[in-house]
Structure 1
Amino acid sequence: MASYLTTSDLKYDLLRKFDRPGLADGPLHVDLLEAGSAGAAGVIFLFDIASENVESYFDPHKGVHYLVPAMYVGADEAVLLRQLADEGASATLQVKSEVSSAQTRNIIATLPGQIKEKVVYLTHTDDNTYIQENGPVALIALMEYFARQPLRNRRRTLEFCFNTGHLHISKEGSLRHAHELDQRYKSGEVALVIPMEHLGSREIEAFPRSSGLPGRELRFTGRNEMMIWCVGPSPPVIQAVCDAVKRHKLDRVLVTRGVSKPIRSQVPTFTSFGGIGTYYHNLLVPTTSLISGPWSLWAPNFGKDAVDINRLRKQTLALGDIYLAIDRVSRESIAGHYLHYRKLREEGFKTPHFAYPPEIASKELPEFGDKTIIY
């Protein structure tokens, strides 16, 4: 992972194994598709974590109606199920639910500036845990702050977007929004996009369970979770982000080009921003995004204790500083190397292709090329 800035408190962490389930969405999705295609009766995912830690665990979030019922169990149940399977026992797995249709919308608020050119702050609005669903808190705080400032302090227009469908990616609102901003960027309406997710997260690690019980249990470590702040190839924005991290003394932050390996044969070179920022970056709209992926991301059990409010506030202030730092910087300077990427795209150079997951799974497995991204 190519970094611009690593805070000193991450010095040894980058050499450790990153033991988090936040990136398991894709593999879980594939397992369920393949199980349905193979005609499996059901799927049981076995956690090596205490049951109470993963109660009501929510992932994958592709928004797919799979062909098989599935469930998660904790470490104790995993031991029992393996034992019963070895004995040839049978079991019944049933998931009862109601399915209905509903219409949801991306909600967009505009704070006019002196010019129509926009800086866009955004997050998603799906509710699962206190970590997954706290971007709107930061977005509303930024709206209130900038709305109190006199117009002379606000050259560019500000747009605040509360996007829908992120926990139902087959209907992902941010991808639709990203395609819209790609077109608006062509017409000169947009200067920068700033997505934010999973703020103020406290670190949770897995430790051996006491009294010889099987598996591990999750506990707060007393530290905060590592945050990933991705920045596209824009020197002014890179500088603004690094300055904001230092100014507000943010802890455990990695400022980086992306969370994927570089691919020199396509644009952009670094594909993944680890979250919804990926959509905008890959459609070559100048983007910088902040995200974390703690154990509490999909596990509601930790409740509000999963969030360090003071940390969330400092991160929000740092995100607001990006607008202040680049408000008088020209759109062309902010674009940086994105302009070259966009020119290459027009000339037919290879770019990632986003594919929505199917709303309803089928027996036939989808085939995706090597340039397809399904976040």
Structure 2
Amino acid sequence: MRRLALLALLLPLVAPAQPAFAQAAALACPVRVDPAAFASEARLSTLAKQQEAFGPRPTGSTAHADYVDWLEDEMAAIPSLQFSSLPYAIDRWDSLGTGLTVGGTAVQVAAPVPFSSSTGAGGVSAPLVHLAAGTNITAANAAGKIVVRDLPWTSVPNLLFYPLGGLGYSMYDPGLTINLLGSESMEAPAAADADLKAAAAAGAVGVIEVSQLPHAQIQGMYAPYEGLPYGVPGAYVGADQGKQIKDALAAGKPVQAALTVNAAWTPTTTRTLLATLPGGSAQKIVVESHTDGMSPVWDNGPLTMIEMARYLSSLPVECRPRTVQFAFVTGHLYQHLTGPNVREGGAGQLAAQLDAEYDQGGVSSVVVLEHLGAKRYDAVARPNGLPGKQLVANPTLTELLMVPVSESTPLRELVKGHIQYWDVKRTAILKGLSAADLTTVPHHCGFGGEGTPYNQHLLPVISPIAAPKTLFSPQFGTEAIDLPAMRKASLAFTDVVLDLGPMAQSAVAGDVTTMRQQRASGTPGCA
């Protein structure tokens, strides 16, 4: 009886796609994307270079707004699309200049920590103290001082991404390039968030975050990106400058430093752009990526979306059983987009809207595209005894593409099949990117990026994302994208969207349907 009741509940969601699917069969609609009808590598390269020309795009900046306008122009050239926007009012954080002297000697600064407290043009002066990793920042050791901290490197065992490792569903690595017993690591500038908060609470005057990478590779680095003001100024320096600071402290005598982080908060607006391609049913497949980023690889999902829209719009409407909505989302670099109490960015705002529409049959699924074709860079020792590490492009490998997929075996199998067909090497289909908690719905709360809020709102979601070491720095341009790999991934996920059109909603949703019922009955969601 329960199965019959569930079937009755699902039939209204499935039905809209069926007549269009029947007509599609009669029209011999494509079962797979014709690569000759899709963007070439040269076309993707042109788009990536046009994107790069806008430069770094913090949320609400002129460069960001211009990029969104450009995306709208590109999409407007595609027939049948309908446009709307979701605007947000924010106070944009603008850096007006940074500087540092240690013991009277100038030290090169790579970047301010975004959303730092402004010192004004005059800066602040205080004694330096180096607090090593693992040492808490407290009033006893930091009050009245400028704290020097070393950025940590995070490490994740590769085994986690395999089916036996806890998060994995399937792994596609035909060249056996991933060491099962090894791990992946990258520097974690997000740790500055905890450092600046602790420093402010301890009464420190400022924070200097020391990278293990050279100045040339981290200049302009942008993280964390909460969108909330810190109570102290903070700045990043490279490995050589970090050594310069620590050498000054090594003599054991007090060292005075002057730190300048001149910044301003400017009221402005930013928007999420929606471009909707009508299909045989009003029920939507939403394809999403964010538009604010510091490097081409950080937000190249919109480039794939342009070409996906161009391909899908070329098909008869009967070959699009469901509507496809392309969401170019803001607020990725301003996570507290609507205030201090909710951390979600524009993706979370959109996810809440889709959640409200889902049970009425308005939404089928969400596909989030991030960091496609991210070239692998290895962190190696610097030559000639220089301190720290440097990033060197691997000539043959891309970064592992992690693809969390919500709790549906048919959906995971669909993605697995297209990844293998298009030979998107070094790809892991995952259950999630956080440990399972069977007391919540969903069980895996983390999806690693923009896909997380859609998953937490219990929407069927496919969310490819890589973790390139080059991510936070604008010093890495289009050369950090492997264009053949990006094109293969673009073809694979266009095929995914094509197949989602006629797919029964019960198969798309899988266990999400039960989880939504459990949530309605009081089972807690993710914290």
| TM-score, normalised by the number of residues in structure 1 | 0.91
- Which whole-Å CA distance do the structure 2 matches of 1:295 and 1:243 have between them? 28
Matched-pair identity in %: 31
Once the two structures are superposed, residues 83-109 of structure 1 have per-residue CA deviations (whole angstroms, 9 ceiling, x without a partner) of 222332111111112320111111101
- Which whole-Å CA distance do the structure 1 matches of 2:234 and 2:290 have between them? 26
User: Is the 2:289–2:299 contact (alpha carbons within 8 Å) kept by the matching residues of 1?
Assistant: no
User: Is the 1:131–1:306 contact (alpha carbons within 8 Å) kept by the matching residues of 2?
Assistant: yes
Paired amino acid for 2:429: V
Secondary structure of residue in 1 paired with 2:464: strand
- State which of 247, 253, 268 in structure 2 corresponds to 1:83: 247
- Which whole-Å CA distance do the structure 2 matches of 1:169 and 1:72 have between them? 21
- Which residue number corresponds to residue 271 of structure 1? 445
1:12 equivalent to 2:178? Answer yes
- State which of 186, 200, 216 in structure 2 corresponds to 1:52: 216
1:308 equivalent to 2:482? Answer yes
- State which of 339, 349, 370 in structure 2 corresponds to 1:197: 370
- Which whole-Å CA distance do the structure 1 matches of 2:176 and 2:182 have between them? 10
User: Is the 2:367–2:463 contact (alpha carbons within 8 Å) kept by the matching residues of 1?
Assistant: yes
RMSD: 1.3
Secondary structure of residue in 2 paired with 1:246: helix
Once the two structures are superposed, residues 107-161 of structure 1 have per-residue CA deviations (whole angstroms, 9 ceiling, x without a partner) of 1011111111111100001031111121110111111111111112111011000
- Which whole-Å CA distance do the structure 2 matches of 1:56 and 1:40 have between them? 24
1:323 equivalent to 2:497? Answer yes
1:141 equivalent to 2:307? Answer yes
- State which of 167, 173, 176 in structure 1 corresponds to 2:346: 173
User: Is the 1:236–1:326 contact (alpha carbons within 8 Å) kept by the matching residues of 2?
Assistant: no
- Which whole-Å CA distance do the structure 2 matches of 1:50 and 1:243 have between them? 41
- Which residue number corresponds to residue 296 of structure 1? 470
- Which residue number corresponds to residue 214 of structure 1? 387
Secondary structure of residue in 2 paired with 1:345: helix
User: Is the 2:411–2:507 contact (alpha carbons within 8 Å) kept by the matching residues of 1?
Assistant: no
- Which residue number corresponds to residue 283 of structure 2? 117
- Which residue number corresponds to residue 16 of structure 2? none
- Which whole-Å CA distance do the structure 2 matches of 1:345 and 1:133 have between them? 32
Runs of 4 or more above 3 Å deviation: 9-14
Paired amino acid for 1:236: P
User: Is the 1:10–1:253 contact (alpha carbons within 8 Å) kept by the matching residues of 2?
Assistant: no
Q: Per-residue deviation at 1:10? A: 5.3
Secondary structure of residue in 2 paired with 1:117: strand
Once the two structures are superposed, residues 317-371 of structure 1 have per-residue CA deviations (whole angstroms, 9 ceiling, x without a partner) of 111111222322221221110011111111111211xxxxxxxxxxxxxxxxxx3
Paired amino acid for 2:169: Y
- State which of 219, 237, 248 in structure 2 corresponds to 1:73: 237
Q: Per-residue deviation at 1:63? A: 1.4
- Greater percentage in strand: 2
Secondary structure of residue in 2 paired with 1:138: helix
* Structure 2 residue ranges without an equivalent (≥5): 1-159, 161-166, 338-344
Paired amino acid for 1:257: K
User: Is the 1:258–1:272 contact (alpha carbons within 8 Å) kept by the matching residues of 2?
Assistant: yes
Once the two structures are superposed, residues 39-67 of structure 1 have per-residue CA deviations (whole angstroms, 9 ceiling, x without a partner) of 21111111111221111111101112211
- Which whole-Å CA distance do the structure 1 matches of 2:482 and 2:472 have between them? 17
Q: Per-residue deviation at 1:14? A: 4.3
Paired amino acid for 1:176: Q
User: Is the 1:229–1:288 contact (alpha carbons within 8 Å) kept by the matching residues of 2?
Assistant: yes
- Which residue number corresponds to residue 237 of structure 1? 411
- Which whole-Å CA distance do the structure 1 matches of 2:497 and 2:185 have between them? 34
Once the two structures are superposed, residues 18-58 of structure 1 have per-residue CA deviations (whole angstroms, 9 ceiling, x without a partner) of 2113x652x32222112112221111111111221111111
Paired amino acid for 2:433: V
Paired amino acid for 1:293: A
1:3 equivalent to 2:168? Answer yes
- Which whole-Å CA distance do the structure 2 matches of 1:92 and 1:129 have between them? 30
Secondary structure of residue in 2 paired with 1:93: strand
1:228 equivalent to 2:402? Answer yes
- State which of 417, 429, 434 in structure 2 corresponds to 1:255: 429
- State which of 251, 255, 260 in structure 2 corresponds to 1:94: 260
Paired amino acid for 1:287: V
Most deviating of 44-53 and 107-116: 44-53
Secondary structure of residue in 1 paired with 2:402: strand
- Which whole-Å CA distance do the structure 1 matches of 2:242 and 2:316 have between them? 60
Paired amino acid for 2:296: Y
Paired amino acid for 1:153: C
- Which residue number corresponds to residue 343 of structure 1? 517
* Structure 1 residue ranges without an equivalent (≥5): 353-370
- State which of 26, 32, 37 in structure 1 corresponds to 2:196: 32
